[in-house]
Amino acid sequence: MSVLVIGSMAYDSVETAEAKAERALGGSATYFSVASSLFARTNIVAVVGEDFDPGDLQRLKARDIGLEGVQQLDGRTFRWGGRYSRYFETRETLFTELNVFDRFDPEVPESDRTPDVLFLANIHPSLQLKVLDQVERPRIVALDTMNFWIAGERADLDKVLRRVDLLMINDEEAFQLSGIGNLRKAAERILDMGPRALVVKRGEHGAWLVDHDGVTLVPAVPLGHVVDPTGAGDSFAGGFSGYLASASSLDRRTLTSAIVAGTLCASFCVQGFSVDRLERVSRDDLRERHTMLQASVSDVACDGL
């Protein structure tokens, strides 16, 4: 039972109304792997620059995350800067420096080519295809993408979509990809493009699982304290994928449990900058927060109706 993720490793500059973080360890593969490694052995395919702190690699190694697929190239590591509005409703990107990411040619190490779950994080669809071509067909292939590729790289994206089991997406991306402005209808249309299930990430409102059997809503944890939402979606994807790799079946109940696992990971991620809180999460922390989530969710009874 192992997970392989291809994505970014980055240094982020993040501003919220209350605080700032500079050169914070970030990137989709980083957040993903820290969450995923709570449940299953996780290997990364990514690229970093010569400025990447060996101490940061050590933080991941300490979690038994496989870094053989992480290339180190001349030049600077990918950098992203963003600023959140007062109540985290919106996020403004201040800068994006691709740096070594611009020359990234992913190569999956021999030993990582038989994952149970492959997660294609949000990068150019042509790189996602390259990785798909290098692995033996995993039990589950899951995909993340974004508005930029939906608008600009649709042909490649469509090829990837036909080869994945599961798509992770948000409301806006679902509308854009389907051309339909109702989430339920949009999700149904996207199911015709290849994936047999969609996980719609709705942030603090939770997530939807949509497949040909219908929709299941999984609420998020009602947190009283949020520090920085950066990486929440990738932590969610990591918890989800790690849980699936460790599970024996792939039925609807297992998929829903995997969404819950992702939800719990995301709830810790947002309570610190970078992976600061997430990397301190214990199995007991997860259980305690799960109890809190269960206590918060109504069974939607309506006696006497």
Binding residues (CB under 8 A) for a second copy: these are 17, 86-88, 171, 175, 181-185, 188, 202, 205-206, 208-209, 214-219, 222-226, 243, 246-247, 253-254, 256-257, 259-261, 264, 283, 286-287, 290, 293-305
| CB nearer to a second copy: pick between 155 and 305 | 305
Q: What is the closest distance, in whole angstroms, from the C-beta atom of residue 171 to a second copy in the complex?
A: 8
Rounded distance between C-alpha atoms, residue 206 and residue 221, angstroms: 8
Q: What is the closest distance, in whole angstroms, from the C-beta atom of residue 289 to a second copy in the complex?
A: 10
27 — phi, psi (to 5°)?
100, 150
| CB nearer to a second copy: pick between 59 and 184 | 184
Rounded distance between C-alpha atoms, residue 235 and residue 166, angstroms: 17
Residue 21: strand pairing partners: 14
Q: What is the closest distance, in whole angstroms, from the C-beta atom of residue 23 to a second copy in the complex?
A: 26
Helix (H) or strand (E) run with residue 13 in it: strand 10-15
| CB nearer to a second copy: pick between 139 and 185 | 185
Q: What is the closest distance, in whole angstroms, from the C-beta atom of residue 41 to a second copy in the complex?
A: 17
| CB nearer to a second copy: pick between 111 and 291 | 291
| CB nearer to a second copy: pick between 60 and 166 | 166
Rounded distance between C-alpha atoms, residue 211 and residue 196, angstroms: 6
- Letter string b/e over residues 187-203, b meaning 16 or more CB atoms within 10 A of that residue's CB: bbebbeebbebbbbbeb
